[in-house]
Amino acid sequence: MTSYRLSPPALFSSLGQDIQTLVDRVLGSRQPIMTPSDSFGGERNYVVGQAPNLDRPLPQHLNHWDCRNNRMLAVCCDRVAAQVEALKTQHGGERIAVVLGTSTSGIEEYELTLAEEQAGEPVRDYHYRKQEMGTAALFVAERFELEGCAYTVSTACSSAAKAMASAARLLDCGLADAVICGGSDSLCKLTVNGFDALESYSDNQCSPLTRERDGINIGEAAVLFVMTREPGGIRLVGAGESSDAHHVSAPHPQGRGAEAAMRQALQSASLEPEHLDYINLHGTGTPLNDKMECAAIERLCGDRVPVSSTKTLTGHTLGVAGALEAALCWGLLSDCNPERKLPPQLLFGEKDPELAEVRLASELDRLPAGGRILSNSFAFGGSNIALILERES
């Protein structure tokens, strides 16, 4: 694939509201950050990565899209607005596309409405379309008055990373001159209790790669990039996708689909495994995911490349996880990280000795100038994607 420039990411997350804060907290945190919450029903508190409240509704002319998912996106829209308006002037609104990923959309809005109805309270202004998966991209397109193609990818935890790969394909095909890409996923009772029902929710802070790991913590975030053909900067240079369809929720036990996605990403970037300087793991903290991902990485590059999972700090942000971790990788490659540090793997317990031998990133590891980072995202149904980011020197 042709490489494309990624603008500085606009983000809204539990770990920071700008890229510098996100990078600083990921590199500087040595203890758990997420906190338990009793807001999601069930019989116990859930450890979640919860972003700040957003009480202000969307402007009246956009009220038909109003939900927390889109309010988080609206914050990000404000931060990229000047760049988007300049691109509209340069290319026209019909040449700017929007491709976003989500898995929750406006589901929380319906949960709140249903609770009001059951309590006999006045019901808020609600339309089922607010929880339709496609609303994220349509909202952003309307917010910027864009006439280019706008669509949402919803493939569970690979959604936003796939949206970024889709954005690159739109530029490859000449269907757009710039693409707003990324995603948004907000916390809601449905997903928290759903993962608990699957026995995939950790009783404590999630602890990827440890012997004691017992599942995920869910987080929330919104991230927007603007992808263009402009030279220089930090670029998406490779993307690889696969679908092993091993099981509706469990990954392929040997990570064959994960390995195929990583190899395809390298091939699309004309790189070899030895050219990688860091791998940001999908690293959910479930026993099956960590085992298969480490096995796939060992086959790909042995124990040469430092790896780590940052979900123990952000939570697993589901549909937007791939974009949030791409944003972190962008920050690691940028001037936000002058010492070129890597996120060390935080182990709240003993490393699982049954995992394949991979090299866990430590506080001593550093990126070389013009480093290359691969970031993994894997999802239900065997939907796999790997992205490669590079800083053009």
Residues 6+ apart with CB under 8 A from 338: none
- Mapping DSSP to helix (H, G, I), strand (E, B) and coil, where does residue 40 land? coil
Residue 213, sorted as left (phi over 0), alpha (psi -120 to 50) or beta, turns out to be beta
- Of the candidates 14, 8, 9, the residue with the CA atom closest to the CA atom of residue 223: 9
Instruction: Give the DSSP letter of residue 252.
Output: P
Q: Which long-range contacts (CB under 8 A, 24 or more apart) does 291-294 make?
A: 291/253, 291/352, 291/354, 291/355, 291/356, 292/251, 292/252, 292/253, 292/254, 292/255, 292/258, 293/251, 293/255, 293/258, 293/376, 293/378, 294/209, 294/355, 294/356, 294/358
Nearest to 275 by CA among 250, 258, 300, 309: 300
Query: Residue 232 burial (CB < 10 Å; 0-12/13-18/19+)?
Result: exposed
The angle at the Cα of 26, spanning 159 to 291, to the nearest 5 degrees, equals: 60
Catalytic residue, chosen from 188, 316, 329, 336, is: 316
The reply to whether 282 belongs to the active site is yes
Check 157, 206, 294, 329 and give the catalytic one: 157
316 is catalytic: yes
- Per annotation, catalytic residue among 188, 252, 282, 336: 282
Strands 372-379 and 278-280 turn out to be: parallel
Catalytic positions, written as ranges: 157, 282, 316
